[in-house]
Structure 1
Amino acid sequence: MQRRQALALGALAPFAAARSPLAQTAADWPSQPVRLIVPFAAGGPTDIPARLVADEMSRQLPNRIVVENRTGSGIIIGTDIVAKAPKDGLTVLYSTIGHAVVRALFPRVTFDPVADFAPVALVGKVPMIMMVNKDFPARTLPEFIALIRANPGKYDYASSGNGGAVHLATELFLHMAGGLRMNHIAFRGSAPAMPDLLAGRIPMLIDVAAGAIPIIQRGDLRPLAISTRERSSLVPDVPTFIEGGVADYEAYTWHMLLVPSGTPVPVINAINAAANRALEVEAVRNRLTEMTVEVVRGSTPASAAAFLAAEIAKWEPVIAAAGIKVD
């Protein structure tokens, strides 16, 4: 009998250990509904992952997380709401690379993206893919670089808008490839640029993977490089920029949870734990992967803060050197 009881207790021990983080999170979680502010339009490439993560977090927590889309002036209006919210964990921001560049693009914003926020967790990174018109003479990235270097200022490139992730990634590439010169043509999104790309009026676009991969799979445009350090399983035949000779080139947009600076550490840790558990759910990871989000597992508030600091240090000089201004 004693042996059977010992075996039973031993079998239950892993489950008790697995429950303890959830119990701790529940104890530290705010007792009122939590707002997740998404400073982007409903149904878009940031909103859908935000809702997916929020729904899974809500299943594990005392109160449901309510997603609110607060758009306007880029990310400024939604971000400002969180910056000025009480420091109680009841208002959380779901943001992107825009948070890292808002200070450089909008120097008179009423909040500080670093001092006024505490990063909680990095959800995932979204790579970008360089594509050219199928009739463009360069068929590889080294050929493209050589052609642009030999014809400075002759060719155009498209972006989804001034100061956006696509624009920044392209300017970083031009700089790291040796100071190449191309003309920037800004569109209101990548989709409006497609007719000109397909017709060859504009030869090149570096687009986020979610938009680029379906076009590549249809054979409408030719992929030259992906912005990850290693090749992506989503498009394993597309080489990296590093393979193409642009050493250390990486560029992503990304998804991160942040709260107002000064939020109690136990609450920050509770939100972090809930987010990480949500990202461990296989169905959530698979759905995010389908949306080309490379899930970051085990993110901590410290690692998220370090990532944000590195992104700011990376992109602010690019904006200054290229003279990027938002209309």
Structure 2
Amino acid sequence: MTNLQSRLQRHHAAACFGLIATFGAVAASANAAAESPYPSKPITVIVPYPPGGSNDIFARIVAKEIGEELKQPVIIDNRPGASGNTGTGMAAKAAPDGYTLVAVSSSMTTNVAVQGKLPYDAIKSFAPVAMLAQGPFIVAVSNDFPAKSPQELIKAIRANPGKFNYASSGPGSVNQFGTELLKAKAGKLAITHVPYRGMGPAVTDLIGNQTQMLISSGPSLLPMVRAGKVRAVGITSLKPSPIAPDLVPMASAVPGYEFELWWGFLAPAGTPPAVIARLNAAVNQALAKPSVKAAILKEGAEAKPVTPEKFAETIAADVTRWKALARQQNIVAD
């Protein structure tokens, strides 16, 4: 072997050793990052609606508490659009590392039931983290409507088929689902759907008796009830609810009728189970605080701590339930 060949071999060996060392350092750095305790940086919660709605309010109530527990900032990022599908789709595509969550509600499952192609799969795209809250709707009628109880409401509609209208915040909305479920459970109530673009105009026309019934959340209706502008006749939980303890469940007139919304956090599918468990524990610890319970109750719901597994079961059951109801009652979106 010539001196030149020997020098070339030594140079090649040194270069290879350098590459190996570099790759080793990169791998070691990656492993160290993977093994760093969670969380080690701020967490972002995408809210797929504008500020001020129930998703946003509940997310902010809980985010503040879990940020203190996890010793990291929890940042709310409002990404509205497409009935919540824009922000939810963004979350589905985020890195599954526990640093991006999305605040969703039952409307995600009703969207699945009535909308075509979505930028996510409600079950396969996400790892359920924790439920935040659950709450019933209020059943309200115009002051001119001849009913003051669930029994009188059902009796009046049956005695006047096609005479009355019910309002919703839009085609395929949770309000429509809640009312169509009541119709299905009661046995073909003949009351006509009038969809609006948002809850504001729906409530306005209920007050003006342009429509006669609206099933919606406590925050949407209770202020109008207390002001005497509309009349509450029932609640959609199976049992009396602390959000309006004086209201009788609609199930007293329509056996088995129950319609309650939930709110919760999801993570992208593939998020490590240990991270999910850490987040779930932090959320449930927050929900146990009296101040958090009171804040959620003020917004028309109750704190609802459950396991990730139980939350996953709820989502899957709702997707199946609402798809079946949409087919049965011909519920379609715009």
TM tier, smaller: 0.7 to 0.9
Pick closer, same or farther for the CA change 1:300–1:226 going to 2, 3 Å: same
Match of residue 261 from structure 1 = 269
Would you say the 8 A contact 1:80–1:111 is kept in 2? Answer: yes
Q: Tell me the secondary structure at the aligned position of residue 233 of structure 2.
A: strand
Counterpart contact for 1:29–1:271, Cα < 8 Å? no
Who wins on radius of gyration, i.e. which is larger?
2
TM-score normalised by the chain length of structure 2:
0.86
Tell me the distance in 2 between the aligned counterparts of 1:81 and 1:110. Answer: 8
User: 2:148, 2:69 → 1: CA distance?
Assistant: 49
State the secondary structure of the residue aligned to 1:74: helix
The CA RMSD over aligned residues, in Å, is 1.6
Identity %: 35
Deviates more, 1:39-48 or 1:133-142: 133-142
Q: Which of 21, 36, 52 matches 1:43? A: 52
Do 1:159 and 1:184's aligned partners in 2 also have CA atoms closer than 8 Å? yes
Provide Cα deviations, 1:168-211, integer angstroms capped at 9, x if missing partner.
10110111111112111111222212332122221111111121
| Residue 76 in structure 1 maps to residue 85 in structure 2 | yes
Q: Distance in 1 between matches of 2:286 and 2:323?
A: 32
Counterpart CA distance in 2 for 1:39 and 1:256 is 12
2:255 paired residue number: 247
For 2:268 and 2:243, how far apart are their aligned partners in 1? 36
SS at structure 2 position matched to 1:114:
coil
Give ranges in structure 1 of 5+ residues lacking alignment: 1-26
CA distance change for structure 1 residues 148 and 268 in 2, over 3 Å: closer, same or farther?
A: same
Query: Secondary structure at 1:75's aligned position in 2?
Result: helix
Q: Which amino acid aligns with 2:332?
A: K
**Pairing 1:159–2:168 present:** yes
The answer as to whether partners of 1:115 and 1:261 remain within 8 angstroms in 2 is yes
Report the counterpart of residue 287 of structure 2 in structure 1: 279
Deviation of 1:154 (Å): 2.1
Supply the distance in 2 between the matched residues of 1:135 and 1:51 (Cα, whole angstroms): 39
Alignment of 1:124-203 (within 5 A): 124-203=133-212
Once residues 262 and 148 of structure 1 are traced to their aligned partners in structure 2, the CA distance between those partners, rounded to angstroms, is 49
Shift of 1:28: 4.9
| Cα shift at 1:265 | 0.3
Aligned-pair distance for 1:290?
0.8
Q: 1:61 aligned to 2:70?
A: yes
Q: Measure, in 1, the Cα distance between the counterparts of 2:205 and 2:44.
A: 40
- 2:38 pairs with one of 20, 29, 33: 29
**Which residue identity is paired with 1:322?**
Q
Matching residue of 2:330? 323
2:237 equivalent in structure 1: 228
The one-letter amino acid of 1:264's match is P
